[in-house]
Amino acid sequence: MQENYKELKTAANRISSNNELSEELLHYCIDQFLMRKDCQEIVASGGARFFIVRIMMNQWASTTSDFFHTYRKQNETIEGEFEDVVYEEDPSYMELADRVREELGKLVWYDRMLFDTFVNDNHTVSSLARATEIPRTSISLTINRIRKHIRNQIKPNNGQTN
């Protein structure tokens, strides 16, 4: 694997069109390959590099792949959570924004700061992990927990106060 890493990284960049998730794609697919029972046989046959490139192509192209659901889908911003609100034309937008701020204010400082940085600096989970040196998985779990909290507190009421 080590002697093929540079070529595999180049392939990941090409497959993802130099997306910032290209290295995540490569590592994810190497892990998937290494979990296979027959990976030693594939390596011995000289087909490992081709096999990993094939896995990367499938994982990147499919919207039903584990990679898509684990990494790419999480790059969507929270604004997609409230698609039914037309921000500038809907008078309840300010009320909704106030409720979101109120719910964020209930969170511990770490969650608030992480979410604030994620949203306001227009980060992806991966770019925030690189910028903060916090593990990507930790950031992802925190962002998802906060999104769920906001959805549970705001969305069911459709922007109405209690």
Which of 68, 141, 146, 142 lies closest to 106 in space, CA to CA?
Answer: 146
Query: How high is the mean pLDDT of the chain?
Result: 79
Segment 97-145, tens digit of pLDDT: 778 888 888 888 888 888 888 887 778 888 888 888 888 888 888 988 8
At the topology level of CATH, where does 80-157 sit? Arc Repressor Mutant, subunit A (1.10.10)
Instruction: Identify whether the C-beta of residue 93 lies closer than 8 Å to the C-beta of residue 87.
Output: yes
Instruction: Identify whether the C-beta of residue 115 lies closer than 8 Å to the C-beta of residue 104.
Output: yes
Segment 15-74, tens digit of pLDDT: 888 888 888 888 888 888 888 898 899 888 888 888 888 888 888 888 788 888 777 766
Distance, CA of 36 to CA of 98 (rounded, Å): 50
CA torsion through residues 81, 82, 84, 87, sign: negative
The alpha helices in 35-135, defined as continuous H runs, are 39-45, 48-61, 66-67, 93-105, 109-120, 125-132
Give me the residue spans of the domains in the chain: 2-73, 80-157
Residue type, 55: I
